[in-house]
């Protein structure tokens, strides 16, 4: 049975509307509202429902790029480290890279285990606790029937794990991008934050008090202990599954490790 965990937390709006060529956020991942042909021609993924005021063929285009980057409108790239020529659409839709320019690492096995336990395994697309269609370990479907998933249904635990690793790239990128390089995090701290971002979305994580406090130089373990438990609501109600997940993320965050994951090693 699927646990009471959300892929996209509803403490803040899930939809960010935008005009053609303007910024959008699709399920927590930044992008730009582009014609689907422009998006696919540049290697991006078009996500329906996030540019509702535009024509039917204009959708939120998302794409990972470069070494740990995400295509986004340059005015929203907090690191200021952008690269041209890697993203479809307008000239100000560029690859936003981590400040260090290095590729964020994949999360460790402890993080994968935490996410799997929190999300639960679903072999075929099915509604999550607030009705959003998900499959595997918390993959939020981008298209009807989750047609974007490159594996046949029902998923096996192996193919679901591969899908999870692929999904996590965007969230590894946004945690590395939003946290300044002066903040040193070990692989457990980094993994706990990636798990949190996977659950609440990059946009919510990036604008959070948690990230602000880390970037202001406060003690990471204190910040995580105080801020992560606040993210326990969906639809205005506290969910026991989210309370448990946040507690597990805090415990992982506070687990000592000598492996440094942030700033990303080159």
Residue 61 tokens read as 């285009």
Residues whose CB is less than 8 angstroms from the CB of residue 178 and which lie 6 or more positions away in sequence, other chains included: 78, 202, 205, 206, 211
| Alpha-carbon dihedral 109, 115, 117, 120, rounded to 10 degrees | -130
Q: How far apart are CA 107 and CA 129, in angstroms?
A: 26
**For 22, what's the count of Cα atoms within 13 Å in the CB-facing half-sphere?**
11
Beta strands in 160-264 (DSSP E): 185-186, 233-234, 237-238, 260-262
214, 184 Cβ separation under 8 angstroms: no
**For 224, what's the count of Cα atoms within 13 Å in the CB-facing half-sphere?**
24
To the query of whether residue 148 is one of the catalytic residues in this protein, the response is no
99, 173 Cβ separation under 8 angstroms: no
Residues whose CB is less than 8 angstroms from the CB of residue 58 and which lie 6 or more positions away in sequence, other chains included: 20, 33, 34, 35, 36, 51
254, 221 Cβ separation under 8 angstroms: yes
Q: How far apart are CA 232 and CA 247, in angstroms?
A: 10
Convert 81-117 to b/e letters by CB count within 10 Å (16 or more is b): bbbeebbbbeebbbbbbbbbbbbbbbbbebbbebbbe
Q: Of these residues, 119, 157, 227, 249, which one is catalytic?
A: 119
Catalytic residues: 119
């Amino acid at each position: 049975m699927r646990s009471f965990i959300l892929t996209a937390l509803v403490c803040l709006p899930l939809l960010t509307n935008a005009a053609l060529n303007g910024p959008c956020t699709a399920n927590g991942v930044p992008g730009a509202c582009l014609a689907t042909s422009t998006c696919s021609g540049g290697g991006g993924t078009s996500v329906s429902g996030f540019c509702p005021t535009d024509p039917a063929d204009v959708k939120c285009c998302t794409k990972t790029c470069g070494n740990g980057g995400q295509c986004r409108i340059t005015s929203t790239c907090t690191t200021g480290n952008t690269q041209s020529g890697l993203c479809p659409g307008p000239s100000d839709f560029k690859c936003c890279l981590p400040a260090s320019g290095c590729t964020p690492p994949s999360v460790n096995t402890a993080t994968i285990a935490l996410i799997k336990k929190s999300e639960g395994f679903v072999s075929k697309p099915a509604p999550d606790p607030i009705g959003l269609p998900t499959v595997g370990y918390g993959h939020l479907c981008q298209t009807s029937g989750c047609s974007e998933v490159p594996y046949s249904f029902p998923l096996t635990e192996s193919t679901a794990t591969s899908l999870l690793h692929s999904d996590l790239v965007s969230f590894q990128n946004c945690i590395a991008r939003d946290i300044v390089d002066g903040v040193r995090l070990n692989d457990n701290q980094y993994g706990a934050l990636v798990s949190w971002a996977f659950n609440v979305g990059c946009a919510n994580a990036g604008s959070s008090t948690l990230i602000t406090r880390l970037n202001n130089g406060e003690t990471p373990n204190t910040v995580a202990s105080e801020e992560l438990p606040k993210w326990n609501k969906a639809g205005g109600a506290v969910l026991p599954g989210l309370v448990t997940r946040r507690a597990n993320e805090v415990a992982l965050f506070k687990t000592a490790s000598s492996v440094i994951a942030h700033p990303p090693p080159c």
